[in-house]
Amino acid sequence: MLDLAPDLTQAAGWMPIVFLVVMGLAMLAYVILDGYDLGVGVLMRRASDDDKDTMIASIGPFWDANETWLVLGVGILLTVFPMAHGVILGALYLPVAFMLIGLTLRGVAFDFRVKARAAHKPLWNRLFYTGSLLASWSQGYMLGSLITGFADTWWTMVFNAVIGLALVAAYCLLGAGWLIIKSEGALQLQAVRWARASLLFTMAGVAAISIATPLISQRIFEKWFSFPNIVLLLPIPAATAVLFAIIFRSLQRLPVRLGQGNEYGAWVPFGATVGVFLLAFYGLAYSLFPWLVIDRITIWQAATAPEAMGVILVGALVVLPMIIGYTVFAYRVFWGKSTALKY
């Protein structure tokens, strides 16, 4: 793969790799962080009115900062890989637009639902749900497009749409895991049931993607199923399967324990789901590297001038630790079971 790379001792060689890692981590942070609050949004449709408020309260202080990771990820694509940015976003024009409309709807509904007149609250709740669903599904669709190299055939569109559904299920699993941590009583038990249903859909989705991806892309097939790669890579699907088993077992045991007021292991479903996301992300990164657009644009072809990358890198190295620091601070401030949101 690195035979496509220029001299890696030069800035133009190694800097794009560094930024690919930063962009990947930003996108991963986005998918996990906004993933749980989007998931909570999708699940909200099935909750009672009181539970809806508690669910919103569990994501209230965080959703805004969570979405900023998306801006950072797409910002790096825009600023460091400008040559690929136009191609990718041009190809994803419609799903991007639908995602943005979804994110807009849910972002504003979050505030309007408690500020507008009471009679309108159910409408804003519905928009919050619809927006969350639309944004999640569009993101999955885009993920599918990325894997298929933005091909525009009927089959790839079906593939993309199915990945969209799988990502909705995975976000619901994350969201339910988050609710198990942040809520109590009936809602917490309800969250366990939601997690169980989401888990089945997520597992089916991940299996479908794993089978379909090598079939759809010859290049990815060769990358995975040649010797010795297949042996070295085997731990990824194996670990994923183990994590799914852990979540499954935890969800079976949790209701009894939580019923007794014992919170031990309440973190397991969320934590293990994050693990699944990490592994899936790693597998995806391995499949695609070093292409930004499969077989068309590598990270080096897309990168901006080294001096501009250097300026951004210095800023990122100074500021990113601070961002992580105060993000941890914010999560600590709102640690524990969520309470009603008060101004």
Partner 1 sequence: MDGFDAFLLARIQFAANITFHILFPTISISLAWVLLFFKLRFVKTGQQHWMDAYQFWVKIFALTFALGVVSGITMSFQFGTNWPGYMEKVGNIAGPLLAYEVLTAFFLEATMLGVMLFGRERVSETLHTVATLLVAGGTTLSAFWILALNSWMQTPAGFEMINGQAHVTSWFEVIFNPSFPYRMVHMLLASGLTVAFLVAGISAYRWLRKDRGAEVMASLKTGVYTAALLIPLQIIAGDLHGLNTLEHQPAKLAAMEGIWKTEKGAPAVLFALPDEKAKENRYEIAIPKLASLYLTHSLDGEIKGLDQFEGKHPPVAPVFWAFRIMVGMGLLMLAVSWAATWQLAPWKKGTERNLRPWHAKLLVAMTFAGWVALIAGWYVTEIGRQPWLVTGVLTAAEAASSVPAPRIALTLSLYLTLYAALIVAYISVVFYLARHRKHADKPFGTGLEDTPNPVTYPQQEGAPHA
Q: Which residues form the interface with partner 1 (CB under 8 A)?
A: 50, 53, 56-57, 60-62, 64-65, 67-68, 70-72, 74-80, 82-83, 85-90, 93-94, 96-97, 100-101, 103-105, 107-108, 110-112, 114-118, 121, 304-305, 307-308, 311-312, 315-316, 319-320, 323, 326-327, 329-330, 333-334, 340-343
Helix axes 121-147, 154-182, angle to 10 degrees: 130
* CB 296, min distance to partner 1, A: 15
In the bound complex, what is the minimum distance in angstroms from residue 193's beta carbon to partner 1?
24
Cβ closest to partner 1, residue 108 vs residue 285: 108
- Is-contact 77 302, C-beta < 8 A? no
Nearer to partner 1, 77 or 284 (CB): 77
Query: What whole-number distance in Å separates Cα of residue 248 and Cα of residue 200?
Result: 9
Q: Which is nearer to partner 1, 89 or 204 (CB)?
A: 89
Taking CA 106 as the corner, what is the angle to CA 68 and CA 185, rounded to the nearest 5 degrees? 95
Nearest of 327, 307, 343, 291 to residue 84 by alpha carbon: 291
> Which of 255, 279, 277, 278 lies closest to 266 in space, CA to CA?
255
Q: Are 237 and 229 in contact (CB under 8 A)?
A: no
Q: How far is the CB of 143 from partner 1 (least distance, A)?
A: 16
Is the Cβ of residue 88 or residue 180 nearer to partner 1 in the bound state?
88
Which of 127-146 are b and which e, b meaning 16 or more Cβ less than 10 Å from the residue's Cβ? Answer: bbbbbbbbbbbbbbbbbbbb
Q: Provide, rounded to whole angstroms, the least separation between the CB of residue 35 and partner 1.
A: 16
> Shortest gap between Cβ of 147 and partner 1 (angstroms)?
20
Nearest distance from residue 315's CB to partner 1, in Å? Answer: 5
User: Which CB atom, from 85 or from 223, has the smaller least distance to partner 1?
Assistant: 85
Residues 6+ apart with CB under 8 A from 286: 223, 233
Amino acid sitting at position 52: K
Judged by beta carbon, residue 25 or residue 204, the one nearer partner 1 is 25
As measured in angstroms, the least distance from the Cβ of 140 to partner 1 is: 17
Record the tokens describing residue 95, joined without a space. 């799903």
Q: Which is nearer to partner 1, 154 or 335 (CB)?
A: 335
Q: Which is nearer to partner 1, 81 or 244 (CB)?
A: 81
Q: Which own/partner pairs from 309-313 qualify as long-range (CB within 8 Å, at least 24 positions apart)? A: 309/11, 309/15, 309/16, 309/19, 309/80, 310/11, 310/15, 312/19, 312/76, 312/79, 312/80, 313/15, 313/18, 313/19
In whole angstroms, the minimum distance from the beta carbon of 89 to partner 1 comes to: 4
In angstroms, what is the minimal distance from the CB of 83 to partner 1?
A: 6
* Gyration radius (Cα) of the chain, Å: 21
| 119 versus 232: smaller Cβ distance to partner 1 | 119
State the CB neighbour count (10 A cutoff) for residue 330: 13
Taking residue 318's Cβ as centre, other Cβ atoms within 10 Å add up to 9
